[in-house]
Structure 1
Amino acid sequence: MQGLFAHCRRNFAVGNEDVNAPSLASAPQRGRCKNKGLTRMEDLSNTRLQKLQQKNRQFMEERMELLDTIREMVGAEVDKRMEQWAQRLEKGPEAPASPWCDPK
């Protein structure tokens, strides 16, 4: 095998024998380069995966902050309306808003 990827010689097993290596014990792992842990393509995909995971984590954190803010705002609005409702109940029945309304 010659060329750019000659250093990434892969061992293809046929039955119990290895075509490229004299013995299976001395053969490197399949898909791995002899000199390097990962090929450049694997390094790139790992980097892309890490960036995507970081981006997703950041998106989730921002989403959680937004949901917490919404929860606080809704809670404050509910408390305000409950207080208004309680005050109306304490006052009793209200007078009609218009003189043309007929209270019955």
Structure 2
Amino acid sequence: MKSLKIFIALTFLILSVNAQNYLEKELSGYTNPDELVTLSETIPFNKAVDVLSKVSEKLTGKKIVSTMQIETPIGIQIDKMPYMKALLIIVQYNNLQFEERA
């Protein structure tokens, strides 16, 4: 039981640190120009994920992978937006969920 409490406490600590880092980055006001993407609303979802994955790999070394094979257009215009924000918008617009793994 004690180990379960420690696990839960560590999980909350890690989540709060990640949230704080994201918030600090958002509030700094500076966006690396390499992070900015523009996507047409007619680009298929799978191709949009591929584009965002290439940017993510270049900047962070992390791939973006979709477990869904969706060929329909993303349905929303993305213009000069940070790739992570674009990913979150596309995912939410298509009623999907985003999960980040180490």
> Under a length normalisation based on structure 1, what TM-score does the superposition of the two structures give?
0.28
**Bigger RCO (CA 8 Å, 6+ sep):** 2
Q: Which of the two has greater strand per residue?
A: 2
Q: Which has the larger radius of gyration?
A: 1
- When normalised by structure 2's length, the TM-score is 0.28
